[in-house]
Amino acid sequence: MDSRNYKMTAVVCHGPRDYRVELVGRPVAGPRELVIRVAACGICAGDCKCWAGAPMFWGGANPYVKPPVIPGHEFFGFVEDMGEGAADHFGVAVGDMVIAEQIVPCERCRFCRSGKYWMCETHNIFGFQRQVADGGMAEFMKFPANAIVHKIPKEMPLEDAAVIEPLACAVHTVRRGDIDLDDVVVIAGAARSAC
Protein backbone atom coordinates (compact mmCIF):
# COMPACT_ATOMS: atom_id res chain seq x y z
CA MET A 1 0.00 0.00 0.00
CA ASP A 2 1.31 3.46 -0.91
CA SER A 3 0.84 5.39 2.34
CA ARG A 4 1.06 8.72 0.47
CA ASN A 5 -2.42 8.14 -0.91
CA TYR A 6 -3.96 6.71 2.26
CA LYS A 7 -6.50 8.74 4.22
CA MET A 8 -6.94 8.37 7.96
CA THR A 9 -9.49 9.55 10.50
CA ALA A 10 -8.34 12.39 12.75
CA VAL A 11 -9.65 15.13 15.00
CA VAL A 12 -8.66 18.45 13.44
CA CYS A 13 -8.61 21.76 15.33
CA HIS A 14 -9.66 24.67 13.13
CA GLY A 15 -10.07 27.18 15.95
CA PRO A 16 -11.57 27.60 19.42
CA ARG A 17 -14.60 25.30 19.82
CA ASP A 18 -14.13 24.21 16.20
CA TYR A 19 -12.77 20.65 16.33
CA ARG A 20 -13.90 18.29 13.56
CA VAL A 21 -13.53 14.58 12.79
CA GLU A 22 -12.08 14.47 9.27
CA LEU A 23 -10.36 12.24 6.74
CA VAL A 24 -6.82 13.57 6.25
CA GLY A 25 -3.68 12.34 4.56
CA ARG A 26 -1.70 9.69 6.42
CA PRO A 27 1.75 10.98 7.42
CA VAL A 28 4.78 9.72 5.51
CA ALA A 29 8.14 9.18 7.22
CA GLY A 30 10.99 11.22 5.78
CA PRO A 31 14.68 10.73 6.58
CA ARG A 32 15.22 9.93 10.29
CA GLU A 33 11.45 10.14 10.96
CA LEU A 34 8.97 7.61 12.36
CA VAL A 35 5.28 7.06 11.71
CA ILE A 36 3.41 5.35 14.53
CA ARG A 37 -0.01 3.75 14.69
CA VAL A 38 -1.52 5.60 17.66
CA ALA A 39 -2.65 3.23 20.43
CA ALA A 40 -3.98 5.88 22.84
CA CYS A 41 -4.13 9.64 23.22
CA GLY A 42 -5.15 11.40 26.42
CA ILE A 43 -6.85 14.76 26.83
CA CYS A 44 -4.80 17.23 28.88
CA ALA A 45 -6.09 20.32 30.67
CA GLY A 46 -4.11 22.26 28.05
CA ASP A 47 -6.18 20.58 25.32
CA CYS A 48 -9.35 21.67 27.13
CA LYS A 49 -8.09 25.24 27.46
CA CYS A 50 -7.12 25.32 23.79
CA TRP A 51 -10.57 24.05 22.77
CA ALA A 52 -12.23 26.67 24.96
CA GLY A 53 -10.23 29.50 23.36
CA ALA A 54 -7.84 30.42 26.19
CA PRO A 55 -5.78 33.54 25.36
CA MET A 56 -2.55 31.66 26.20
CA PHE A 57 -3.17 29.62 23.00
CA TRP A 58 -5.12 32.02 20.79
CA GLY A 59 -4.23 35.53 21.98
CA GLY A 60 -1.98 38.19 20.52
CA ALA A 61 -0.83 38.96 17.00
CA ASN A 62 0.93 35.60 16.64
CA PRO A 63 -1.19 32.95 18.43
CA TYR A 64 0.59 29.82 19.66
CA VAL A 65 -1.84 27.41 17.96
CA LYS A 66 -1.49 27.27 14.18
CA PRO A 67 -4.64 25.59 12.81
CA PRO A 68 -5.57 23.43 11.13
CA VAL A 69 -3.74 20.98 13.40
CA ILE A 70 -4.37 17.53 14.84
CA PRO A 71 -4.33 17.98 18.65
CA GLY A 72 -3.01 15.65 21.33
CA HIS A 73 0.34 15.42 23.11
CA GLU A 74 -0.38 12.56 25.57
CA PHE A 75 0.02 9.58 23.23
CA PHE A 76 1.85 6.35 22.57
CA GLY A 77 1.80 3.86 19.76
CA PHE A 78 3.54 1.26 17.65
CA VAL A 79 6.18 2.00 15.03
CA GLU A 80 4.52 1.49 11.65
CA ASP A 81 6.99 3.03 9.17
CA MET A 82 10.52 4.39 9.36
CA GLY A 83 12.32 6.80 7.08
CA GLU A 84 15.90 6.28 6.02
CA GLY A 85 18.22 6.22 9.05
CA ALA A 86 15.38 6.31 11.62
CA ALA A 87 16.08 2.85 13.06
CA ASP A 88 19.62 3.81 14.05
CA HIS A 89 18.71 7.38 14.97
CA PHE A 90 15.97 6.38 17.44
CA GLY A 91 17.11 2.83 18.28
CA VAL A 92 13.72 1.28 17.45
CA ALA A 93 12.25 -1.20 14.97
CA VAL A 94 8.90 -1.60 13.22
CA GLY A 95 6.39 -2.95 15.75
CA ASP A 96 8.10 -1.45 18.84
CA MET A 97 5.85 0.34 21.33
CA VAL A 98 7.11 3.94 21.63
CA ILE A 99 6.38 7.35 23.06
CA ALA A 100 7.81 10.76 22.21
CA GLU A 101 8.25 13.55 24.71
CA GLN A 102 5.64 16.25 24.19
CA ILE A 103 8.19 18.99 23.45
CA VAL A 104 9.88 18.85 20.04
CA PRO A 105 13.13 20.69 20.80
CA CYS A 106 14.55 23.12 18.23
CA GLU A 107 18.10 21.87 19.00
CA ARG A 108 19.44 25.39 18.34
CA CYS A 109 18.51 27.62 21.29
CA ARG A 110 20.70 28.02 24.38
CA PHE A 111 18.47 25.72 26.44
CA CYS A 112 18.51 22.90 23.90
CA ARG A 113 22.29 23.23 23.46
CA SER A 114 22.79 23.07 27.25
CA GLY A 115 20.63 19.92 27.63
CA LYS A 116 17.60 21.72 29.13
CA TYR A 117 15.41 21.08 26.10
CA TRP A 118 12.21 21.32 28.19
CA MET A 119 12.92 25.07 28.35
CA CYS A 120 13.32 25.33 24.55
CA GLU A 121 12.78 28.92 23.47
CA THR A 122 10.73 27.83 20.45
CA HIS A 123 8.80 25.38 22.67
CA ASN A 124 7.03 23.40 19.97
CA ILE A 125 4.67 20.80 21.39
CA PHE A 126 2.96 18.01 19.48
CA GLY A 127 -0.60 18.91 18.56
CA PHE A 128 -0.45 22.70 18.46
CA GLN A 129 1.42 23.54 15.25
CA ARG A 130 1.00 21.41 12.14
CA GLN A 131 4.18 22.66 10.48
CA VAL A 132 6.16 21.15 13.39
CA ALA A 133 4.21 18.07 14.48
CA ASP A 134 0.57 17.05 14.43
CA GLY A 135 -0.65 15.35 17.59
CA GLY A 136 -2.00 11.96 18.51
CA MET A 137 -5.76 12.34 17.97
CA ALA A 138 -5.48 10.38 14.73
CA GLU A 139 -4.90 6.85 13.50
CA PHE A 140 -1.25 7.63 12.71
CA MET A 141 1.23 10.37 13.58
CA LYS A 142 4.74 11.30 12.57
CA PHE A 143 7.71 11.86 14.87
CA PRO A 144 10.16 14.35 13.31
CA ALA A 145 13.89 13.67 13.44
CA ASN A 146 14.35 16.04 16.41
CA ALA A 147 11.69 14.31 18.55
CA ILE A 148 12.87 12.62 21.74
CA VAL A 149 11.63 9.04 21.46
CA HIS A 150 11.56 6.33 24.15
CA LYS A 151 10.91 2.64 23.61
CA ILE A 152 8.25 1.27 25.97
CA PRO A 153 8.92 -2.22 27.39
CA LYS A 154 6.77 -4.91 25.74
CA GLU A 155 5.64 -6.20 29.13
CA MET A 156 4.11 -2.84 30.15
CA PRO A 157 0.29 -2.99 30.14
CA LEU A 158 -1.30 -0.66 27.60
CA GLU A 159 -3.27 1.07 30.39
CA ASP A 160 0.02 2.02 32.07
CA ALA A 161 1.63 3.15 28.81
CA ALA A 162 -1.32 5.52 28.27
CA VAL A 163 -0.40 7.60 31.34
CA ILE A 164 3.38 7.80 30.85
CA GLU A 165 3.33 11.44 29.68
CA PRO A 166 1.26 12.91 32.56
CA LEU A 167 3.21 10.82 35.08
CA ALA A 168 6.52 11.96 33.55
CA CYS A 169 5.42 15.61 33.90
CA ALA A 170 4.63 15.09 37.58
CA VAL A 171 7.92 13.25 38.24
CA HIS A 172 9.87 16.00 36.42
CA THR A 173 8.19 18.67 38.56
CA VAL A 174 8.92 16.87 41.82
CA ARG A 175 12.56 16.32 40.83
CA ARG A 176 13.03 19.97 39.85
CA GLY A 177 11.41 21.03 43.12
CA ASP A 178 13.81 18.82 45.10
CA ILE A 179 10.89 17.37 47.08
CA ASP A 180 11.55 14.40 49.37
CA LEU A 181 9.11 11.92 50.92
CA ASP A 182 9.03 13.69 54.30
CA ASP A 183 8.51 17.19 52.87
CA VAL A 184 5.27 19.12 53.23
CA VAL A 185 4.18 20.89 50.06
CA VAL A 186 1.35 23.26 49.19
CA ILE A 187 -0.19 23.12 45.73
CA ALA A 188 -1.69 26.50 44.91
CA GLY A 189 -3.50 27.77 41.87
CA ALA A 190 -5.27 24.62 40.71
CA ALA A 191 -7.14 25.50 37.53
CA ARG A 192 -10.74 24.70 36.78
CA SER A 193 -11.03 22.46 33.73
CA ALA A 194 -12.55 24.00 30.62
CA CYS A 195 -13.79 20.67 29.21
Give the SS3 label for residue 152: coil
Could you tell me if residue 189 is inside a domain?
Answer: no
The CATH number given to whatever domain includes residue 35 is: 3.90.180.10
- Show the domain range for 67: 3-176
Q: Indicate the number of domains in the chain.
A: 1
Q: What is the per-residue pLDDT across 24-82, written as a single tens digit (0 to 9) for each?
A: 999 999 999 999 999 999 998 889 999 999 999 999 888 989 999 999 999 999 999 99
* 137 contacts 127 by C-beta, under 8 angstroms: yes
Asked whether 72 and 166 are in contact (CB, 8 A), the reply is no
Question: Has residue 186 been placed in a domain?
Answer: no
Residue 183 lies in a domain: no
- Higher-pLDDT residue of 3 and 137 is 137
Show the DSSP H helices in the chain as ranges: 45-52, 55-58, 86-90, 110-113, 158-161, 164-176
* Residue at 98 is within a domain: yes
Kindly state whether residue 23 falls inside one of the protein's structural domains: yes
Whether the pLDDT of residue 138 is over 90: the answer is: yes
pLDDT of residue 194: 55
pLDDT score recorded for residue 85: 97
Domain assignment present for residue 170? The answer is yes
Positive or negative: CA dihedral 145, 150, 156, 157: negative
Residue 169: the pLDDT is: 81
Q: Taking 80 as the threshold, does the pLDDT of residue 178 lie above it?
A: yes
pLDDT at 190 over 80: no
Task: Specify if 195 maps to a domain.
Answer: no
Three-state DSSP class for 58?
A: helix
**Residue-wise pLDDT tens digits, 78-133:** 999 999 999 999 999 999 999 999 999 999 999 999 999 989 998 899 999 877 78
Residue 38 lies in a domain: yes
Q: How confident is the model at residue 189 (pLDDT cuts 50, 70, 90)?
A: low
